[in-house]
Structure 1
Amino acid sequence: MADLPILPRHVWEGIPDPRAFSGLPVGTGPYRLVEYRTGHGLRFVANPAYFRGRPRVAELVVPVIPEPATTFGALRRGEVHAAARPVPPELLQAIGNSSVVRVVRTRSLTLAELRLNFERWPLDDPAVRRALSLAIDRESLVRIVLLGRGRPGTRGYPHPDSPWTNPALRTPYRPGAARRLLEERGFLDRDGDGVRESPDRRPLRFVVKVPSNEPVLVRAAELVGQQLQRVGIRAAVQALDPGAVAALFRTRDFDLVLDIATPHAVADPDQFVMSHRSGYLWRKGLPYPEMDTLVDAWMAARTVEGRKRVLFQMQELFNRQPTSIALWYPDEFWAFRRDAYDGWAASPGYGIFHKFSLLAPSVRAGTVLEGR
């Protein structure tokens, strides 16, 4: 019942098949969606009956701009008034030097992850997954790709700033240990081409799929491929339309995917457990006795501290044989034109783009933990 939304009878009682509903979404928030054009944008108008009061901005027009550089060029020219995506590291100085654009830094709870298809050979082997984690130099990724604007993912998955994350987690860079693990599993470079093969001569070759509209992630995927090559693993990069990347969770047509995990995925303790049932971090019904035992103990725990202790053990097990490798925890910077609206407020993990930024400051208490 906790996840059941309010359902307006006047909308749904005449709809025999809700899945076939083609009208605009209906909600109870501070704005109503009044226009949607596929590939072009959305338009919202303020809901005067919203229970926390009428929003401070009467209308929101949200154009779809796929490319980051185009987005921030439009912001500087005044064609848009705020960018609903973090400022990329390479654009931060130019955007920050503008006299009309303000840049604010917020506490992020997102992370860049390399997701592994644990249902596909050889990533169904925990030792191979661990070897990949040990082979990745996260500090160099932050230095080169983020220009130092973030923290290397050496404290594992989930996000280390969550109070539900084990503070003792560590995911070091140890390429020598990665090589030894692979050799112990019989992966050797038998033909001298720089790529290891299994005892039955299958090469360790992967494709890293990545959203094509995120240059930072594409560059990171290229560097990850270079790092894996040093331990005898070949990883080619394939940039895909963001929609195609999103569909991979359903189709399972991937070896590796490099993308950003949201705060809900990496800072919510219940979600960490649920992700081991949904197919994201593991799939229900797929044998994993060590994790199953811990999940049972987590469900049986009767106190918050009891659940936390079990959760910490689950995280230790997960990071020893990960199905998602934390690459970095980004610093997030958001940009807006102060002459259009200067009421944005930061909330940990969600930046400035949330409903409370558009409501009166008097109703933000307890919801926006950082703000002006």
Structure 2
Amino acid sequence: MKKIISLALACIMVLSLAACSAEKVNSADPKSRANNETAEILTIAISKDENSLSPFTYLSSTGLIVNRLVYDTLFTTDLDNEIIPWMVEDDYRVENDFSTYTFTLLKGQKFHDGTVVTSEDVVFSFTYPGTQKSSSLRKICNKIKDIKAVDERTVTINLKSSDINFLRSGLSAMRIISKNQYENAADATLISETIGSGMYKLSEYKVGEYYKLEAVADYFRGTPKVKAINMPIIGDNTAIQQGLLSGQLAAATSNIGVEMVETFNKAQGIEVFSSAGFAPLIMNINNSRAPMDAKEFRTALTYAIDVNGIMKTLYGEYATVGTKGLIRPDLPYSVTGLEYSYSPGKANEILDGAGFDKKNANGIRLTPDGQACSFEILVYSGNTTRIRTAEMIAEQLKAVGIEMKIKVMEMDTVDAFVWPDFDVTKGRDYDFAMWGWGTSIGTNLDFLVSLFSGDLGIGTSNVCGYTNSEFDQIIASEFSTAKTTEELYSALRKLQNVIAEDPGMVNFGYDDGLQACNTTQYSGWKAGKGTNVINIHSFLGK
């Protein structure tokens, strides 16, 4: 059951928050790691300001990574990406065809204000988010028929319908919050104090500058091996790399580029950790805007873009190329034979046949109603990889008569066009966008459902505005009622086949997580499948 289950300013900040520099020794020498299994202070760069790090205020997957150090979840994943109980005892029960979940909290758990974590806090944690803006958290709450505290430590959750994936998508995702802190707050984003029950508490936060985390000495799972973590906010990758190479940074929440691997491998006292990536690099297509609302037009794009070539150029050997099925191809439920095929000739053939056969004086195709196939692709200004990807896409689409203008904007501005208020029910205002999702969505069994369900209460990540009646029917008739792993996998394979024939986006693939860590300052770093080294397992150290 459980198995199913600015550069100068940035550098100044690094120096001001850094722990004492470690002596340089070769990281390849095992002796260099032998006596560094604990640390007083580590300085770890965080790539952007993630507000107060609460479950209701962080902005991106980076914030989610750090948030997990501060807030616990009932279940979690190990380094093999298997679901394991975390806050609960091992004898939890899953009954009634995966619709009833009963568990008992382990003893000794406290919030950072000293109050005890009780079953009432758990009940509140799975109901209160349903009243808030976060669509992903509301989605979890909306699955629940009823939840009750049996006693001070035991909770029973009854779902509206069977959900074989709830251990991962619900119980491993929802952060446990203090009822006492939030119960009178109509808007959770206005709560400024960060109080979780995790192994680290937020001791200081200076907007735009840094975070400071302090280990919880009596944490119920054991005392963290690093007593304090200073996290300067550094948005410049060059500054982060310089800080790592100089020893002023022990690690960073962000990955290093493939082009830097050799440099870091040669550096003394630094080890590059590689892990299978589950965060997809995507080109979003606004399916609700013409001519992108035409299946034939979107299909032609999948032939006009050299997905394999782009991934090879970007990441070399450190990536897994995506497929038209959108699921990472080495997962057990992925469908084979859905690889992207680069064929500008095929793209031209499809476009001609779909009425895009005329061109203007500039060689740009015209839509059947005479509009030029000239579009914008939105890209985050701070993401050089996505900018480079957009440049290659634009060059390849030009060859088939489609003009793609790259519009580089701040992250928050792009998000406001693609995902206003992070609520897909508010629509979208873009043509194309270079995008990505965090590791959690790439490892989740309802990845496709969340991205493409026409029911936006289910398709809470459907930023493309995709609709397909066959896709939705499979969700309702097979995915939602699956009672065994094989039934669930069967439904997922059917969903992949639908999305391959009627593409809603282009998934270029998954780059490996490459993180440079100083092993002379600390040797407990751990990377796993889809796991950033800044994780609970790195710092608990069991």
Q: Structures share a fold, TM > 0.5?
A: yes
Deviation at 1:330, TM superposition (A): 1.3
Q: Using the alignment, how far apart are the partners of 1:214 and 1:7 within structure 2?
A: 33
Q: Which amino acid aligns with 1:79?
A: Q
Distance 1:156 1:98, change over 3 A: farther
Q: Using the alignment, how far apart are the partners of 1:283 and 1:337 within structure 2?
A: 40
What's the counterpart of residue 196 of structure 2? 27
What's the counterpart of residue 272 of structure 1? 448
Does the CA contact (< 8 Å) of 2:307 and 2:340 recur in 1? no
Q: Which amino acid aligns with 1:270?
A: D
Q: Using the alignment, how far apart are the partners of 1:60 and 1:193 within structure 2?
A: 56
Deviation at 1:282, TM superposition (A): 6.5
Distance 1:229 1:274, change over 3 A: same
What's the counterpart of residue 259 of structure 1? 435
TM-score, normalization by structure 1: 0.89
Question: Residues 189-225 of structure 1: CA distance to partner in whole angstroms, max 9, x if unpaired?
Answer: 4324221001221111121111221212211110011
Q: Which amino acid aligns with 1:268?
A: N
Distance 1:25 1:42, change over 3 A: same
Q: Is 1:323 aligned to 2:492, yes or no?
A: no
Q: Using the alignment, how far apart are the partners of 1:329 and 1:96 within structure 2?
A: 22
Q: Given the alignment, which residue of 300, 313, 319 partners 1:144? A: 313
Q: Which amino acid aligns with 1:267?
A: T
Q: Using the alignment, how far apart are the partners of 2:418 and 2:220 within structure 1?
A: 36
Q: Given the alignment, which residue of 39, 42, 49 partners 2:208? A: 39
Q: Is 1:12 aligned to 2:182, yes or no?
A: yes
What's the counterpart of residue 111 of structure 1? 280
Q: Given the alignment, which residue of 298, 301, 304 partners 2:482? A: 301
Q: Using the alignment, how far apart are the partners of 1:160 and 1:53 within structure 2?
A: 37
Deviation at 1:16, TM superposition (A): 4.1
Q: Using the alignment, how far apart are the partners of 2:468 and 2:499 within structure 1?
A: 11
Q: Given the alignment, which residue of 254, 260, 280 partners 1:91? A: 260
Deviation at 1:44, TM superposition (A): 0.8
Q: Using the alignment, how far apart are the partners of 1:316 and 1:62 within structure 2?
A: 44
Structure 2: gaps (5+ residues) = 1-125, 127-169, 421-427
Distance 1:122 1:350, change over 3 A: same
Q: Using the alignment, how far apart are the partners of 1:291 and 1:192 within structure 2?
A: 40
Q: Using the alignment, how far apart are the partners of 2:253 and 2:207 within structure 1?
A: 18
Q: Is 1:345 aligned to 2:526, yes or no?
A: yes
Q: Given the alignment, which residue of 391, 412, 420 partners 1:222? A: 391
Q: Using the alignment, how far apart are the partners of 1:7 and 1:112 within structure 2?
A: 32
Q: Share of identical aligned residues, percent?
A: 25
* Mapping 1:190-209, distance limit 5 Å: 190-209=359-378
Q: Is 1:238 aligned to 2:407, yes or no?
A: yes
Distance 1:125 1:282, change over 3 A: farther
Question: Residues 221-270 of structure 1: CA distance to partner in whole angstroms, max 9, x if unpaired?
Answer: 10011011111111111222222233333232221111332222223122
Q: Is 1:162 aligned to 2:328, yes or no?
A: no
Question: Residues 160-179 of structure 1: CA distance to partner in whole angstroms, max 9, x if unpaired?
Answer: 23333223432221222211
Does the CA contact (< 8 Å) of 1:86 and 1:332 recur in 2? yes
Does the CA contact (< 8 Å) of 2:282 and 2:434 recur in 1? yes
SS in 1 for 2:299: helix
Q: Which amino acid aligns with 1:293?
A: Q
Q: Using the alignment, how far apart are the partners of 1:287 and 1:337 within structure 2?
A: 47
* Mapping 1:171-190, distance limit 5 Å: 171-190=340-359
Does the CA contact (< 8 Å) of 2:323 and 2:329 recur in 1? no
What's the counterpart of residue 142 of structure 2? none
Q: Which amino acid aligns with 1:12?
A: Y
Does the CA contact (< 8 Å) of 1:31 and 1:45 recur in 2? yes
Question: Which stretch shifts more, 287-296 or 63-72?
Answer: 287-296
Q: Using the alignment, how far apart are the partners of 1:319 and 1:155 within structure 2?
A: 5
Deviation at 1:32, TM superposition (A): 0.7
Deviation at 1:73, TM superposition (A): 0.9
What's the counterpart of residue 271 of structure 2? 102
SS in 2 for 1:94: helix
Q: Is 1:288 aligned to 2:464, yes or no?
A: no
What's the counterpart of residue 313 of structure 1? 494
Question: Which stretch shifts more, 201-210 or 148-157?
Answer: 148-157
Post-superposition, which runs of at least 4 consecutive aligned residues in structure 1 deviate over 4 A?
A: 1-5
Deviation at 1:343, TM superposition (A): 0.5
